[in-house]
Copies of this chain bind each other. A is one copy, B any other.
Amino acid sequence: MNPRPAPEPCIAVIFGASGDLARRRLLPALHNLQTDGLIPDSTAIVGTSRTGYTSEDWKADMRAAVEEHSRIPPTDESWATVAKDVHYVAGDVTDEGFFPELGELLEKIDAENGTNGNRLWYLATIPELFHLVAERLGKSGLSKTGGRQRIVVEKPFGKDLRSARALNQALATNFDEDEIYRIDHYLGKETVQNLLVFRFANAIFEPIWNRRYVDNVQITVAEDSGIGERGSFYERVGALRDVAQNHLLQLLSLIAMEPPIAWEPDDIRTEKVQVLRAVRRWSTRECNEVTVRGQYEGYREEANVDPESDTETFVAMTLFIDNWRWADVPFYLRTGKQLPAKVTEIAIQFKHVPHLLFARTAVEELEPNVLVIRIQPDEGVSLTFGVKVPGPEIEVRTVDMEFDYETDFGSGSPEAYERLLLECMLGDAMLFTRADEIEEAWEIVDPIREAWGEGKPAGYEPGTWGPKAAEELLLRAGHRWRDPA
């Protein structure tokens, strides 16, 4: 192993610093990265938002947030190491005077901390401001310090292809593509990266990873809770844009991609884009046949939800990847709220054996092999296969081989945001979405939303796997959803 070098010290500037993301994810992650010694002690954090905190207010608030949310509980010492370089600037990004003021503070920190003009701009504001902040950073000259520039853009990245393109353009005008880090926090999870290692560090899976042996692939991202307090956000977004466009399509492209030439960000992202490009585009009529949208009963009574809302809280769809490897293999994707379990998994369902040897005694059809890659909870891999039931009859029963990540490696893996912030500081964009990936994903998703038009989502009872139509979608093709619960 050649350990990777530590990142150079930089200033992480968080726009939207009074929001939930800073409290729950970013400050805990920055605290843990310093505590684990993965980033320099001289790393500085500057929070900014319209809220009129002083630096001391914000620090106190952030310490409480780290206490509450961090994987590693802060000690007086660990927090002091972080807090000595924490600053807050109240201000309005729509105000032109704000950026020069911010710039002055940053230069002062550069001088004190030796951060050398290195910046990590973190856009954690409402999405409507991403565009503006990127432009102002460019116009004000703050993005041209001579140091390393990185801008991190939270999701949602646009609400359709047009808005995503506009945002990509605004970013591209003011930053180089290799300075832009589009977040999909699923990519920071260990098992997602393990997925690539699993596929390409083991010689036995790749030979059967294709249309000759795979019958269908099922990707599930399920939540067992409702939308909670997020009604006004969720009303504007829905399950298709909130999860399908990003997490589901990310998992699809990782599971289906060709082997990359090398373990380099652009080699991998290029292959991921190739998968999305090969996803068959459905006509309006087809969209309505191969997708199901649902809304859980009681959604319209949630806080900040339109009592006549048609926003979907569930979506299922069939996709095909029209290339040599996957032609005619259905990929079934589903996501939803108020489902029976909180679980993310990919199930590769293999074909039946070509010739049933045991027909004489075993009348029941043999269950085909299934390889399940669980992303959460209980990250791991399982493989079902048929064995002989002991005794003089040739009876075959399906059993499981299991590997559980926590059993072998213990718990306490770094959080996704720790990993993502570190990668960004290291300048490695492998775990971030490239402009063309985002745009291809919207190209897949936009026609579906348009096809739905004025139609209504089907209701489903909380605690079930969505509307009946989701089952029927697979039954029509002779398939059944695996029960991941």
B357 & A387 in contact (Cβ 8 Å cutoff): no
A353-B200 contact in complex given A360-B263, A419-B392, C-beta closer than 8 Å: yes
A403 within 8 Å of B by Cβ? Answer: yes
- B390 engages A413 (CB within 8 Å): yes
- Whether A388 touches B190, Cβ cut-off 8 Å, given contacts A262-B360, A399-B403, is yes
Least CB distance from A337 to B in Å reads 29
- Given A387-B405, A395-B1, A403-B401: A203 and B197 interface contact (C-beta under 8 Å): no
Contact B394 A414 (CB under 8 A): no
B394 and A197 form a contact (CB under 8 A): yes
A382 to B1 CA separation, bound complex (whole angstroms): 27
A324 at the interface (CB under 8 A from B): no
CA–CA, A392 to B423, complex, Å? 8
Let me know if B202 and A353 touch, CB within 8 A.
yes
- Bound-complex Cα distance A355 to B202 (A): 11
Interface presence of A278 (CB below 8 A)? no
Q: Is the CB of B194 within 8 A of A387?
A: yes
Q: Which residues of the other chain, B, contact A352 by a CB distance below 8 angstroms?
A: 203
Interface size on A, residues (CB 8 A): 73
User: Is A4 positioned at the interface, with any CB of B under 8 Å from its CB?
Assistant: yes
- The verdict on A2 contacting chain B, using a C-beta distance below 8 Å, is yes
A363 (CB) vs chain B CBs: closest residue:
B1
Residues of B within 8 A of A190 (CB): 388, 390
Cβ of A384 to closest chain B Cβ, rounded Å: 9
Which of A16-24, A127-135, A364-372 makes up part of the contact surface? Answer: A364-372
The listed residue (B1, B360, B361) touching A393 by CB distance below 8 A is B1
Contacts of A386 in B (CB 8 A): 197-198, 201-202
Instruction: Please encode chain A, from 282 to 306, with 1 for each CB lying within 8 Å of some chain B CB and 0 for all others.
Output: 0000000000000000000000000
Interface hits, A343-391 → B, CB 8 Å: 350-355, 357-364, 366, 368-369, 371, 381-383, 385-391
Docked complex Cα distance between A428 and B354 (Å):
26
A3 on the B face (CB < 8 A): yes
Are the C-beta atoms of B263 and A194 separated by less than 8 Å?
no
CA distance A362 to B479 in the complex (A): 40
| A400 lies within 8 A of chain B by Cβ | yes
Contact with B along A194-225 (1 / 0, CB 8 A): 10011011111011100011000000000000
- 25 of the cross-chain contacts (CB-CB < 8 Å) are A1-B362, A1-B363, A1-B364, A1-B393, A4-B361, A38-B392, A190-B388, A193-B394, A194-B387, A194-B388, A197-B396, A198-B385, A201-B353, A201-B387, A202-B385, A203-B213, A203-B354, A204-B369, A262-B360, A263-B357, A263-B361, A381-B385, A383-B401, A392-B414, A401-B403
20 additional contacts, CB 8 Å, given A203-B353, A401-B402? A1-B362, A1-B393, A190-B390, A194-B388, A198-B385, A200-B353, A201-B353, A201-B366, A203-B350, A203-B352, A204-B371, A260-B357, A387-B408, A390-B405, A390-B414, A391-B413, A392-B423, A399-B408, A401-B403, A402-B402
